Structure 1
Amino acid sequence: MRDHGSTIVGTLQRVPLLFLMDALLRMYATQMISTSVLYMYLAIAVFLLLLTKEQLGKIYKTIQSYHSDAKFHGMMMCFGIFLVASTVLEEVHKIADSFLLELGASGGGIVKKTCKAVIIIIVLIICPIWVVMKFHEIGFDLGIIWFLVATASWISVCIDSVGSLSVYLLLVLDTLNPEPIEHLDEIMYGIRAAIGIVHTGFGLLQICFLTWNITTIQWSWFSCIILAILVYYTYERVTNGWNEFQRRRTAVHRLSFLLNATQEQLLVSTMSVPSAFVI
């Protein structure tokens, strides 16, 4: 019968597979993550898989001096479940978000399907908050690093769901009003930008806390790897947001040179359309 040490070592050996599975699911589903991110996950997985049982045993003994076997084993299981579940939640949010945008832009739709999509978004707002609070109440006493890593994706899903619901309500309000809302596109872009700023601020907060934890409390290779991943994702988010802002500003600048058509010009343009194309 194997002892607790071999059980924990086996659990540690499965951690790279969780990282790799999470990365592959994200890249396959979103098709927005560059290949360098995949290489980063593969490098981490290979690095951890190349560790011998003796090296993993040393890591386990170091952690064992501070924490019990049961708590650590439970933490590792919860960590893996959180990674997989957060990926599933992100995919559910993308499906519900695209469906809500379609319904909001069309100004109609089946009430039953609309209610289902709105309920899903509301659940995606409430569920991550409740799960994070429960996970915090469990208190594995293994430090805030594991808590931040396990719950970061859940908090991101909650923030994205708030943005999706805000955009949908704005589109519904524009449909119900007799006159269209002015600068609706700018308002929607502002909401998306605000969500991106919140994500960036949350990422910077994680980076600052992990840096402080590594430099003042406890240094480890695993903490440095997590910090490097957070820095890369935050850099990618800031770069993509800035590039989108530059493209939008260029488009607005070009459109500003176009003259607005008068009612007479619109009438002449309508009259000049061939009758074959008039319904």
Structure 2
Amino acid sequence: MSMRTKVLGLVDVMMRVPPVLVIDEILKIGMGLPTRFYPDTSPPQSPVAEDVGFLADAGTPGAAAEAFAALKAFLGLGDEAQSSMTPTASPLEQTIDNASKKAMTNGMLSTGFNSLMSELSHDETLADVLSITTVKFMICIFGFLSAACIFMLWTRHLVMVYMFLTSLGLTFLSYWSNVSALALMEQSPCILEDLMSLNTTRLLDSGGVIMSLAPHVMAQWFMGMLFAYIHLGPRYELLQKSMPIIFTSPILIAMLPLPPHVVELLPAIAGTTPVILTLITMMYSAMEASRTVYNGYQYAMNFVSNFGLSALIENEWQRLNVPNVLRVFWTIRIIQGGYALAIADSNEPLQLFPAIEKLLVDGCETLTAVLGMTGVISMICHYIGRGFQWFLMTYDNDEEKSLGTVSAVLFYILALQTGLTSLSPEKRFVRLCRNLCLLMTALLHFLHNIVSPILMSLSAARNPSRKRHARALTVCAFLVVTPVSLLYYLWLQRSISTWLLAVTAFSVEVIVKVLVSLATYTLFLLDARRQFFWEKLDDYLYYVRAFGNSVEFCFGILLFINGAWILVFESAQNATGGAIRAIMMCIHAYFNIWCEARAGWSVFMKRRSAVHKISSLPEATPAQLQAFDDVCAICYQVIATFIPTNPSLSSRLLSHPIGNVFGQDYALPPLLPWRLLA
């Protein structure tokens, strides 16, 4: 890839970041809707406590009045005293407070509660609240859709949008600069008089009005040239050349002896020309934008009809370069948060770990922020896989290629499932750490899927390279030591919970899988160093793998029960997360329990039938072996025993690794993401 292509790709990514920032800000204010009617006044729970709802107890005295005051403050209603979080003495809020107390005492059908509903139905303040909330919500919806459409534009149209926005911004910036310059001239002596009288003392004074106006004149001239270059309106030659003069004209004309009310109108008059050009651009671009949207719709429909919806999503994902855009967006967000912490007025020095905690909490407070964090985590997991791949000296492993993608999907679904964005900051950080622990255990499973085929190939190929054997065994040792250390720390520092049981199950499962792989590797190595055929090898391999699959199946059932407990007793306040968990549990129950049980039972019955049939056949006598005097058709070794009725079936054939001779295919490996999300 050439440097020019890389630079253009970086520019395209940077142009798509501002719409994501706009969407993030809209989500940060909750789409203009009041997201928390009851402030969280309860003390933060310890990290060992389970995550519960973050709303404060509605039964706290005065909580309803505080909620109403917070709602009015959020919508900008009321005076400064009412915008605080303390309850006020207004009649409506006093009624809310009294009705809440009576509702707690006498129930929700008490007279006080009915009077509250009656007063709310006739209250003008509540009507204002609802109307302002509706306006805010509609504005946020419009901004959200506009930003999403701008983000999905082709690069050519995206450049046109930025050119239009820049020209519009230059118009307002020029107006503000002219107003500031005229304010300076109003408080200073007449510049024209100084020029006519050649008063060099005041003209060349470093603190005089001329030196103060020089930056404004230069800025206006530059903005006029830039506007003439980038605006999308009609381009007449005379108008293009006159644009810098038009931008600078208010300052130049204000030097003349004009009435003050005329001078005040000069910035608006000078801004008329660029505003008219901008309006013409909007009129011309309206049809072009409609045509672009329609063509995009037609393109999407044709693409879906020819290649399918998944192909369209994949194609647009690559065209928009979504992962890199999200990573840049999240990096900018974190840098902005770090800069705000660095310049914050505080008597205490900035501490590293609290600052990191603050940045991580703010980095996952909205869905777009979680997407950005997902992109960063995906890149980290991808390079972790690449590092292990380099260490294992293998470069064609498909598991490593999907490691970053699967990790990203897994982390984002975990965030949605646990309601990460809706938690309070303290609970959000605890939940984020727990999700990262689950992701780390999943990463260990993926790394095992990378090293396991390498172990099998090294043992089966009788590779004499001790270096490759040592590297593979080192990774296996890492996959055993890491979960053991994690479990030791968690069980030592944390109390038992459903999350801890899930982490324990996944950690023990990866340990068992590594031990099964090492046992299989050892059996193949022992078989390679034997002088004679090892008839029991196939049985030992079957027992080892059956043990591993049985343990995984039992853990699958345990995780299903654990997920059902969380769904019923711990997901009441997170409807979206509960729905996602229910779907994942259904997928887990089908693929990892039902399909695994059926496949395992099928393998067991096939093996049992094959062993029973073979054991019922007589073996050849030494005289028959000497008379046959042939080698195995597969491995070309001398036949030590065979079936007289069919000499081509040697005992070596029963355990030969080629094909599925007797249907002894073992159960498929579990689908880890569904197990983790159950």
Q: Normalization by structure 1: what TM-score?
A: 0.63
Q: Is residue 8 from structure 1 mapped to residue 365 from structure 2 by the alignment?
A: yes
CA contact (8 A) 2:476 2:514 kept: yes
User: Could you say if the C-alpha distance between residues 262 and 114 of structure 1 is closer, same or farther in structure 2, counting changes exceeding 3 Å?
Assistant: farther
CA contact (8 A) 2:527 2:534 kept: yes
Q: Please name the residue that 1:245 is paired with.
A: 604
Q: Is residue 75 from structure 1 mapped to residue 428 from structure 2 by the alignment?
A: no
Q: How does 1:118-267 map to 2 (within 5 A)?
A: 118-134=473-489, 139=494, 144-149=497-502, 152-176=505-529, 181-215=534-568, 219=572, 221=578, 222-232=580-590, 233-267=592-626
Equivalent residue pairs, number = 239
> For each residue in 1:50-93, what CA deviation from the matched residue of structure 2 results, as whole angstroms up to 9, or x when unmatched?
xxxxxx79x82xx44xxxx144135336525743x455433432
Shift of 1:251: 2.8
User: Could you say if the C-alpha distance between residues 103 and 267 of structure 1 is closer, same or farther in structure 2, counting changes exceeding 3 Å?
Assistant: farther
CA contact (8 A) 1:11 1:76 kept: no
Instruction: Indicate the RMSD between aligned Cα atoms, in angstroms.
Output: 4.5
Amino-acid identity (%):
23
> For each residue in 1:84-108, what CA deviation from the matched residue of structure 2 results, as whole angstroms up to 9, or x when unmatched?
x455433432342223223334555
> For each residue in 1:201-243, what CA deviation from the matched residue of structure 2 results, as whole angstroms up to 9, or x when unmatched?
2222222333345445664625534543442322222222112
CA contact (8 A) 1:29 1:91 kept: yes
State the distance in 2 between where 1:200 and 1:272 align: 41
Shift of 1:148: 4.7
State the distance in 1 between where 2:363 and 2:467 align: 52
Q: Which moved more, 1:212-221 or 1:190-199?
A: 212-221
Aligned AA for 2:366?
Answer: V
CA contact (8 A) 1:96 1:117 kept: yes
CA contact (8 A) 2:459 2:521 kept: yes
Q: Which moved more, 1:159-168 or 1:219-228?
A: 219-228
1:260 alignment partner, SS class: coil
State the distance in 2 between where 1:6 and 1:123 align: 31
User: Could you say if the C-alpha distance between residues 14 and 239 of structure 1 is closer, same or farther in structure 2, counting changes exceeding 3 Å?
Assistant: farther
1:8 alignment partner, SS class: coil
User: Could you say if the C-alpha distance between residues 208 and 82 of structure 1 is closer, same or farther in structure 2, counting changes exceeding 3 Å?
Assistant: closer
CA contact (8 A) 1:107 1:175 kept: yes
Aligned AA for 2:547?
Answer: A
Aligned AA for 1:170?
Answer: L
User: Could you say if the C-alpha distance between residues 8 and 151 of structure 1 is closer, same or farther in structure 2, counting changes exceeding 3 Å?
Assistant: farther
Q: Which moved more, 1:220-229 or 1:164-173?
A: 220-229
Shift of 1:162: 0.9
State the distance in 2 between where 1:164 and 1:213 align: 32
> For each residue in 1:173-202, what CA deviation from the matched residue of structure 2 results, as whole angstroms up to 9, or x when unmatched?
445566655522112101111111111222
User: Could you say if the C-alpha distance between residues 148 and 231 of structure 1 is closer, same or farther in structure 2, counting changes exceeding 3 Å?
Assistant: farther
Aligned AA for 1:167?
Answer: T
CA contact (8 A) 1:11 1:73 kept: no
* 2:452 corresponds to which of 78, 84, 97: 97
User: Could you say if the C-alpha distance between residues 272 and 157 of structure 1 is closer, same or farther in structure 2, counting changes exceeding 3 Å?
Assistant: closer
Shift of 1:163: 0.6
Residue segments in structure 1 that go unaligned for 5+ positions in a row = 31-37, 50-55
State the distance in 2 between where 1:77 and 1:212 align: 21
Shift of 1:109: 2.4
Aligned AA for 1:79?
Answer: N
CA contact (8 A) 2:520 2:544 kept: yes
User: Could you say if the C-alpha distance between residues 89 and 214 of structure 1 is closer, same or farther in structure 2, counting changes exceeding 3 Å?
Assistant: closer
CA contact (8 A) 1:145 1:223 kept: no
Shift of 1:160: 0.7
Aligned AA for 2:561?
Answer: C
User: Could you say if the C-alpha distance between residues 272 and 234 of structure 1 is closer, same or farther in structure 2, counting changes exceeding 3 Å?
Assistant: closer
2:608 alignment partner, SS class: helix
CA contact (8 A) 1:82 1:150 kept: yes
User: Could you say if the C-alpha distance between residues 86 and 216 of structure 1 is closer, same or farther in structure 2, counting changes exceeding 3 Å?
Assistant: closer
> For each residue in 1:18-60, what CA deviation from the matched residue of structure 2 results, as whole angstroms up to 9, or x when unmatched?
9xx8xxx9xx749xxxxxxx9xx99x96xx69xxxxxx79x82
Shift of 1:157: 2.2
User: Could you say if the C-alpha distance between residues 214 and 82 of structure 1 is closer, same or farther in structure 2, counting changes exceeding 3 Å?
Assistant: closer
State the distance in 2 between where 1:94 and 1:251 align: 30
State the distance in 1 between where 2:563 and 2:443 align: 26
Residue segments in structure 2 that go unaligned for 5+ positions in a row = 1-24, 30-360, 383-397, 401-405, 637-678
User: Could you say if the C-alpha distance between residues 265 and 11 of structure 1 is closer, same or farther in structure 2, counting changes exceeding 3 Å?
Assistant: farther
Q: How does 1:34-49 map to 2 (within 5 A)?
A: none
Aligned AA for 2:554?
Answer: G
User: Could you say if the C-alpha distance between residues 104 and 258 of structure 1 is closer, same or farther in structure 2, counting changes exceeding 3 Å?
Assistant: farther
Q: Normalization by structure 2: what TM-score?
A: 0.30
CA contact (8 A) 1:79 1:150 kept: no
State the distance in 2 between where 1:179 and 1:254 align: 25
2:365 alignment partner, SS class: helix
State the distance in 1 between where 2:446 and 2:566 align: 32
Structure 1 or 2: more helix by fraction = 1
State the distance in 2 between where 1:217 and 1:73 align: 18
Aligned AA for 2:603?
Answer: E
